[in-house]
Structure 1
Amino acid sequence: MTHEFEVDEEITLDATPEQVWQAIATGPGIDSWFMGRNEIEPREGGRSSLSLLGHTSESTVTAWEPGRRLAYRGDTGPDGTFMAFEYLIEARDGGGTVLRLVHNGLLGDDWEDQYRALSVGDGMYLRKLAVHLRHFTGRTSAWNLFLPGPAMPDPAPVWAAFTEVFGLTGPAVAGSTGRIGLDRAEPADAVVEFAHEPDFLGVRTADSLYMLVHGYRDTVVVERHAFATSAEGTESGAKAEAVATEAWTGWLNGLAGQGS
């Protein structure tokens, strides 16, 4: 049985409508704050895709008004479920842009857990988009991580691990500072950009945007978008990605050991 849902979110962004459009309506732009690898055919009726963890989901673009409105609807699954997204862009007097996201569709049998995750997660991804536009404008991520880990029903040790890995000694609130060395050749200064305890922690360094998630079905997820400099080549980027993947996989395995 399917269940209708809708999530309606709005955020003010420190960017022009054109910059927002590039971030939400191009594959490299979406890759730099969302999840997986994205492609989008730039026209109404075009096709878009999201590839993540070996699976590709496809959608049809239902509205294409550059700088104003973007909408797409996912293909309907065998069980009748689908998701649709609409982005509405409006320039703000005095600078900046207001972005509204309407996310709706039909969810499946576990709709309550799915809706709970979406109702919080959509807003957190918009905050991640805001960090990308504020601190990495004009740059797209060279490589991304999306690593799911263990299911951890107890949020307390998960949140403690989130704050510890970034070297936070006080409460995890926007503006808190720390250091991260786990996935890097040299430790780097880290700044908390947003926090929604015990579910989401968004942190920025000079070259990366991280989000740690304790989300759907209590699963812990690590996300990282690495914004390489022009001096870094493909080979060095691939090595950095491999090092980060190994480091965070080990960290997730350690969490799994705590929960057993």
Structure 2
Amino acid sequence: MPKEFKIVHDSEIDGTPQQVFDAATLGNSGWLWPMEIEPKLGGAGPFGSTVTAWEPPHRFGNHMEGEGGFFNTLEYDISERPGGKSWLRYVHSGVFFEDWDNQYDGAAKHTAFYQHTLGQYVKYFAGRQAAFADVQGPEASKSPDAFEAVKAALGIHDAGAGGHVSVTIAGVGTVDAVVDYQDANFVGLRTHDAMYRFFGRNAFGAVVGMTIHLFAEGADAESAGAAWGAWLNGLYA
């Protein structure tokens, strides 16, 4: 039986409402994944969705529907805060068809991580597009303790959120990064010209994965993805 859900996430972002609005509608490759959004009410959105709110720089929304009562709605409500900051209320609502509790838990935790990443993007890379790669681990990374291997290889246990890590990746070189996010299921690393996001989706029945967001001019996301993919696969060989 389908069952509706609603996830609400509030956050203060170090950037103007226009920067936040642009990140949500134009700069997606920098913090989420590349997507095209037609900039008008009723415009075409990703995955067959439709733009249901277009009031820059304060409101953006899109909505999609499918068979069996499926729908998915995203809403961004952005207000100005003193000191060049913004307050973002993000609402994600829709339908899950099975395993509701686990899917809701996973979606809520992903939301917190993605919205944090949006804030990092606006603060450090606002207005810049990224070379993007999505890397998925092998089937062995579905095991209950699989994400711990990622943390250990990154040296996260010693660093913690706000700390620093240094990891050498064959084909990439040494990555010196700030740990901008860390919990049981997610890790975020940020350098002066890149963000790396690690997803412990093994907790939700999927494989461990990561996304790469490279802001340096001429960055090669394909080769970076291949190099990090080899590293990730090597953890479970």
| Superposition TM-score, scaled by structure 1 size | 0.83
Q: Out of 201, 209, 213, which is 2:199 matched to?
A: 213
- Aligned to 2:4, the other structure's residue is in SS state strand
**Counterpart in 2 of 1:30?**
28
Distance 2:82 2:229 in 1: 45
Distance 1:58 1:83 in 2: 11
**Counterpart in 2 of 1:73?**
63
- Aligned to 2:45, the other structure's residue is in SS state strand
The Cα of 1:163 is off from its aligned counterpart by 4.1
**Counterpart in 1 of 2:11?**
11
Distance 1:62 1:84, change over 3 A: same
Q: Out of 127, 152, 163, which is 1:176 matched to?
A: 163
**Counterpart in 1 of 2:20?**
20
**Counterpart in 2 of 1:63?**
53
Question: Does the aligned pair in 2 maintain the 1:69–1:89 contact within 8 Å?
Answer: yes
* Partner amino acid, structure 2, of 1:148: Q
Distance 1:161 1:146 in 2: 16
2:97 is equivalent to residue 108 of structure 1? yes
1:108-147 aligned within 5 A? 108-141=97-130, 143-147=131-135
Q: Out of 217, 227, 233, which is 1:247 matched to?
A: 227
The Cα of 1:139 is off from its aligned counterpart by 1.6
Distance 1:100 1:184, change over 3 A: farther
The Cα of 1:242 is off from its aligned counterpart by 3.0
Distance 1:140 1:207 in 2: 11
Distance 2:227 2:155 in 1: 16
Question: Does the aligned pair in 2 maintain the 1:11–1:98 contact within 8 Å?
Answer: yes
C-alpha distance after superposition, 1:151-177 (max 9, x if no partner): 42323x42242342x34461422x111
2:204 is equivalent to residue 204 of structure 1? no
C-alpha distance after superposition, 1:104-134 (max 9, x if no partner): 0111123332211111110110000111111
Is there any run of 5+ residues in structure 1 with no aligned partner, and where?
Answer: 50-56
Question: Does the aligned pair in 2 maintain the 1:183–1:243 contact within 8 Å?
Answer: no
Question: Does the aligned pair in 2 maintain the 1:146–1:223 contact within 8 Å?
Answer: yes
Moved over 6 A (4+): none
Distance 1:86 1:161 in 2: 33
Distance 1:38 1:126 in 2: 17
| Superposition TM-score, scaled by structure 2 size | 0.91
Is there any run of 5+ residues in structure 2 with no aligned partner, and where?
Answer: none
Distance 2:22 2:171 in 1: 29
Distance 1:169 1:256, change over 3 A: closer
2:216 is equivalent to residue 228 of structure 1? yes
**Counterpart in 2 of 1:194?**
181
Question: Does the aligned pair in 2 maintain the 1:177–1:190 contact within 8 Å?
Answer: yes
Number of residue-to-residue matches in the alignment: 233
Deviates more, 1:204-213 or 1:177-186: 177-186
Distance 1:91 1:135, change over 3 A: same
